[in-house]
Amino acid sequence: MTQDMTQIFFDSPQDAPPRGNWNWGRLAVYALLILWSVICLFPIYWTLTTSFKMAPDVMKGNMIPWGDFTPKWLGWRSLGLSPDTWGAESTVRAEFLKRFANSAITSVTSSVLAVVLGSLAAYGLTRFSYKFGYMKNSDISFFFLSQLILPPVVLALPMLVLYKELALLDTRIGLILLYTLSVLPIVIWIMRDQFASIPTDLEEAALVDGLSIWGAFITIILPIALPGMVAAFILSLVLTWNEYFFAALLTSTHANTLPVMVASQTGSQGISWWSMAALAWAAILPLIVIGVVLEKYIIKGMVAGAVK
Amino acid sequence: MSGAGDLLHVVSNDTISARRKTFARLTIWGSGLLMLGVGAAQTLHSTGNAALGFENWRPTLYAYVAWAICLCWGQVLLHGENGKRTLFVLPAALFVISLTVFPLLFGLIIAFSDWNLSSPTGRHFNGLDNVRQMLADPFYWNAMTNMVWYTLAILVEYAIAFGLALALNAEIRARKFFRVAFLLPLMLSPVAVSWMIGKSMLEPRFGPVARLARELGWENPSFFGDPIVAKATIMIMDAWTFIPFMMIMILAGLQAIPKELSEAAKVDGATGWRAFWEVTFPLMLPVSITAILIRIIFKLKLADIVIAVTSGGPGGATDTVTSFIFREYRDRSNVGYGTLLAMVYLVVIIIAMTLLMKLADRITRPRT
């Protein structure tokens, strides 16, 4: 199944573009595709150009750089990220970089944690039969996957009180724990699918050769399951990087993540469009890069378990 | 949900000495008792019965972590090879239990109490007062009704996603470009999107969308003034982010359809519209239902766009349950009432999802 998946999305020679016969149907398909691409890409383009505009350009709605407005570093200067402010001290930039670091640390750590815990659980569930009390394998799987239904708001207020008592409020560790929890079901979903596609003969051979179960898992199975783990990791990264609700509720000054910073700026009076645009663009840039470079893995993660 | 894949059959015969077993039991029970002891001491301290000088509940947390580690290690000591197998699932299970089951139980206590975090009096039970308040709270039920509308919007999203997937599945050039372009909205942070689209592009005076609307003859475009228009705008922004998700799943389903099937349909004379309804659509039913169910789960968590763009306005027209509870807490910092609302929401979700999954099961099961 996983093997098929990479094949399915691989632009192989047999689905190379057919030549000739342009008809209205094909034209309509292209029109639809181009229209939707514009819908998807225009907001990103608009934000990027706005970050280089001056006030009159924003008011007039100019859109084409060098065509109807001259790009200025205004937005980026207010963030302290333009070339001329790069060397100088900037409190805004320090603030931005701190938030950026918080976002990066929480999302990467929680994704790694979720992939480790989730892969182990998924491997166990696909290979061994368990019995914890009345819980069998399918019950345990259901227990993990059912966490997906749990809306964050149910945990939010109890967690707020618990974290307050545990002095975990406004710490990165507190956020990391909750983020790991929220992506764990997705990781288990993807990894179960991945491990199920690996034949058990491999481990059986390894065990005959004298490896222990954990030895076989680490040296033989993990390298094969790596694509699935990368897919799960990337998907977790995207979800945790964008998370806003818990971050807004549980952090205040030290562990604020980037989405909280973006949201807190929008509320303030007299928005300066260019600096907000620069901030929003900087917040989404890492994900645009990931999306373009690692598109294959994201798709792989999303379709795991969907097609049987 | 059944056990996928073959199970690994390994027979292991370890002989575990009685001394090792005793040691393992001692470790597990000892650390468990330690945890209980620390917990009890802290409870005494917090109720004011003993002054032990604790600043927070961290010691109990550390004792809990120590017990969890001892429990995992004890499995190996007690059961040998079998214990090592348990070790695959146990950490994740302990993690999830301690972060969901425990807070949920704790939440049940909070839900029936009056607890203002900023007041010095602390928590006290108020019986069913919160329930009475909830029943009389028009804004909560309004938010619940909104969730029904938001969920129904998924059908439109599904139709659009299916259309796009069909277009992407056609024989086209530059497929990779279109796929990446279509996927991008899903990657972007909803909060940034709310600014980019909600605040900037929909700005009534000079936002490009407002300009376009004026060109098309809408005199004074305002996207968040009228309740219905505001709700629709939130739906569209959320759809913009999540259509790629459904599209990719449907596309995967489309590409998994064997080529022979569509060719056979063509030979039988089914073309275009008929081939779609009689061959493609029925084949896509299982994938579609999975995609819709997952999308519903995500939709029920919708909050960040609403919080960032309208904060529920105008007059609660765009409120989701999550954003409503968020504001309820922000404005009054009353944890008790908010928790009760969330708990009721959870119960409603569980009932609704169970019914939906039963229904989906009936639809996908092959008819005899």
Q: What is the pLDDT of residues A99-140, one digit of tens each?
A: 999 999 999 999 999 999 999 999 999 888 888 778 888 888
Q: What's the mean pLDDT when you consider all of chain A?
A: 83
Counted residue by residue, chain A has a size of 308
Query: For an interface test with B, which of A154, A178, A190, A202 has the most B Cβ atoms less than 10 Å from its Cβ?
Result: A154
Tell me if B345 and A40 make a contact (CB, 8 A cut-off). Answer: no
Tell me if A298 and B1 make a contact (CB, 8 A cut-off). Answer: no
pLDDT at res. B335 = 85
Is the dihedral angle over the CA atoms A133, A136, A140, A143 positive or is it negative? negative
Question: Do B249 and B351 lie in a common domain?
Answer: yes
Cα-flanking dihedrals φ and ψ of residue B113, to 5°?
A: -135, 165
Write out chain B residues lying below 8 Å of A30, CB-based.
172
B119 touches chain A (CB under 8 A): no
Across the interface, of B4, B103, B172, the residue whose CB is closest to A30 is B172
B316-353 burial, b for 16+ CB within 10 Å, e for fewer? bbbbbbbbbbbbbbeeeebbbbbbbbbbbbbeebeebb
Write out chain A residues lying below 8 Å of B86, CB-based.
124, 130
d(CA B298, CA B67): 35
Q: Which of A197, A135, A200, A196 is nearest to B4 (CA)?
A: A196
Q: Extract the tokens encoding A177.
A: 């724990």
Residue B124 lies in a domain: no
A37 touches chain B (CB under 8 A): yes
Question: Do B58 and B152 lie in a common domain?
Answer: no
A217 neighbors A134 (Cβ within 8 angstroms): no
d(CA A50, CA A63): 8
Helix B335-364 / helix B102-111 crossing angle, nearest 10 deg: 120
d(CA B97, CA B100): 5
Question: Do B211 and B279 lie in a common domain?
Answer: yes
Cα-flanking dihedrals φ and ψ of residue B124, to 5°?
A: -145, 145
A287 touches chain B (CB under 8 A): yes
Q: Which of B71, B113, B67 is nearest to B89 (CA)?
A: B71
Residue B313 lies in a domain: yes
Q: What is the pLDDT of residues A232-256, one digit of tens each?
A: 999 999 999 999 999 988 888 888 8
pLDDT at res. A88 = 75
Write out chain A residues lying below 8 Å of B289, CB-based.
none
Question: Do B175 and B39 lie in a common domain?
Answer: no
Q: Residue B272: exposed, middle, or buried by beta-carbon count in 10 A (0-12, 13-18, 19+)?
A: exposed
d(CA A300, CA A282): 27
Write out chain B residues lying below 8 Å of A258, CB-based.
189
Please report the residues numbered 118 through 177 in chain A whose beta carbons come closer than 8 angstroms to any beta carbon of chain B: 118, 120-121, 123-130, 132, 137-138, 140-145, 147-162, 164-167, 177
User: What is the H or E stretch that residue B125 is in?
Assistant: strand B124-125
Cα-flanking dihedrals φ and ψ of residue B49, to 5°?
A: -85, -20
Q: Extract the tokens encoding B219.
A: 């005199």
Please report the residues numbered 276 through 305 in chain B whose beta carbons come closer than 8 angstroms to any beta carbon of chain A: 286-287, 290-291, 297, 300-301, 303-304
Residue with tokens 């059944």: B2
Helix A222-242 / helix A172-196 crossing angle, nearest 10 deg: 140
In this structure, which topology does domain A91-303 adopt according to CATH? Answer: MetI-like fold (1.10.3720)
d(CA A257, CA A10): 36
Please report the residues numbered 67 through 106 in chain A whose beta carbons come closer than 8 angstroms to any beta carbon of chain B: none
| For residues A50-65, average pLDDT | 78
Residue B11 lies in a domain: no
* Owning domain of residue B84: 18-111
A169: confidence class by pLDDT, cuts 50, 70, 90: confident
Question: Do B137 and B187 lie in a common domain?
Answer: yes
Residue B12 lies in a domain: no
Write out chain B residues lying below 8 Å of A46, CB-based.
196, 200-201, 208
Write out chain A residues lying below 8 Å of B298, CB-based.
none
Question: Do B359 and B211 lie in a common domain?
Answer: yes
Tell me if B179 and A203 make a contact (CB, 8 A cut-off). Answer: no
Helix A222-242 / helix A273-293 crossing angle, nearest 10 deg: 170
By three-state DSSP, how is residue B321 classified?
helix
The domain limits of chain A are 21-85, 91-303
The nearest CA of chain A is from the CA of B240 a distance in Å of: 8
Residue of A nearest to B241 (CA): A40
Cα-flanking dihedrals φ and ψ of residue A69, to 5°?
A: -150, 155
Question: Do B72 and B206 lie in a common domain?
Answer: no
Tell me if B192 and A214 make a contact (CB, 8 A cut-off). Answer: no
What residues contact A56, with CB distance under 8 A and at least 6 apart?
A: none
Number of domains in chain B: 2
d(CA A168, CA A178): 11
B1 touches chain A (CB under 8 A): yes
Q: Which of A261, A296, A297, A295 is nearest to A280 (CA)?
A: A261
A211: confidence class by pLDDT, cuts 50, 70, 90: confident
The nearest CA of chain B is from the CA of A80 a distance in Å of: 19
Query: Would you put residue B11 in left (φ > 0), alpha (ψ -120 to 50) or beta?
Result: beta
- Per-residue tens of pLDDT for chain B, all 368 residues: 344 445 776 666 667 788 888 888 888 898 889 988 888 888 888 777 777 777 778 888 899 999 999 988 888 888 888 888 888 999 999 999 999 988 999 888 888 888 877 777 777 777 788 888 888 888 899 999 999 999 999 999 999 999 999 888 887 888 889 989 999 999 888 888 888 888 888 887 778 888 888 888 887 778 888 888 899 999 999 999 999 999 999 998 888 888 788 778 778 777 777 778 888 888 888 889 989 998 999 999 998 889 888 887 788 888 899 999 998 888 888 888 889 999 999 999 999 999 998 998 888 776 65
Residue B141 lies in a domain: yes
Across the interface, of B164, B175, B253, the residue whose CB is closest to A306 is B253
Write out chain A residues lying below 8 Å of B75, CB-based.
none
Q: Number of CB pairs < 8 Å for A and B?
A: 341
What residues contact B8, with CB distance under 8 A and at least 6 apart?
A: A127, A128, A200, A203, A204
Q: How many Cα neighbours within 13 Å face the side chain of A236?
A: 35
Question: Do B335 and B200 lie in a common domain?
Answer: yes
Question: Do B235 and B312 lie in a common domain?
Answer: yes
Side chain identity at residue B171, one-letter code: E
User: What is the H or E stretch that residue B124 is in?
Assistant: strand B124-125
Dump the DSSP string for A213-274: HHHHIIIIIHHHHHHHHHHHHHHHHHHHHH--HHHHHH-SSSS--HHHHHHHHHTSSS--HH
Q: Residue A87: exposed, middle, or buried by beta-carbon count in 10 A (0-12, 13-18, 19+)?
A: exposed
Please report the residues numbered 159 through 188 in chain B whose beta carbons come closer than 8 angstroms to any beta carbon of chain A: 163-164, 167-168, 170-173, 175-188
Write out chain B residues lying below 8 Å of A262, CB-based.
189, 191-192, 195
Domain end position, chosen among B49, B76, B111? B111
> Is the ipTM reported for this complex over the cut 0.85?
yes
What residues contact B186, with CB distance under 8 A and at least 6 apart?
A: A238, A291, B241, B242, B244, B245
Q: Which of A215, A188, A206 is nearest to A126 (CA)?
A: A188
Across the interface, of A124, A158, A303, the residue whose CB is closest to B249 is A303
Cα-flanking dihedrals φ and ψ of residue B114, to 5°?
A: -100, 115
Q: How far is CA A302 from CA A297, A308, B253, in A?
A: 9, 13, 12
Question: Do B178 and B307 lie in a common domain?
Answer: yes
Across the interface, of A41, A177, A291, the residue whose CB is closest to B187 is A291
Domain end position, chosen among B77, B111, B145? B111
Across the interface, of B91, B107, B186, the residue whose CB is closest to A158 is B107
Q: Which of A248, A112, A105 is nearest to A180 (CA)?
A: A112
Question: Do B72 and B168 lie in a common domain?
Answer: no
Residue B101 lies in a domain: yes
Question: Do B65 and B203 lie in a common domain?
Answer: no
The nearest CA of chain A is from the CA of B198 a distance in Å of: 10
Peptide bond into B91 cis (omega under 30): no
A258 touches chain B (CB under 8 A): yes
Helix B335-364 / helix A152-166 crossing angle, nearest 10 deg: 140
pLDDT at res. B242 = 92
Q: How far is CA A212 from CA A81, A198, A209, B351, in A?
A: 53, 18, 9, 44
Write out chain B residues lying below 8 Å of A126, CB-based.
3-5, 7
The nearest CA of chain A is from the CA of B279 a distance in Å of: 17
Tell me if B183 and A291 make a contact (CB, 8 A cut-off). Answer: yes
Tell me if A287 and B187 make a contact (CB, 8 A cut-off). Answer: yes
Question: Nearest 5°: CA angle at A17, between A16 and A22?
Answer: 165
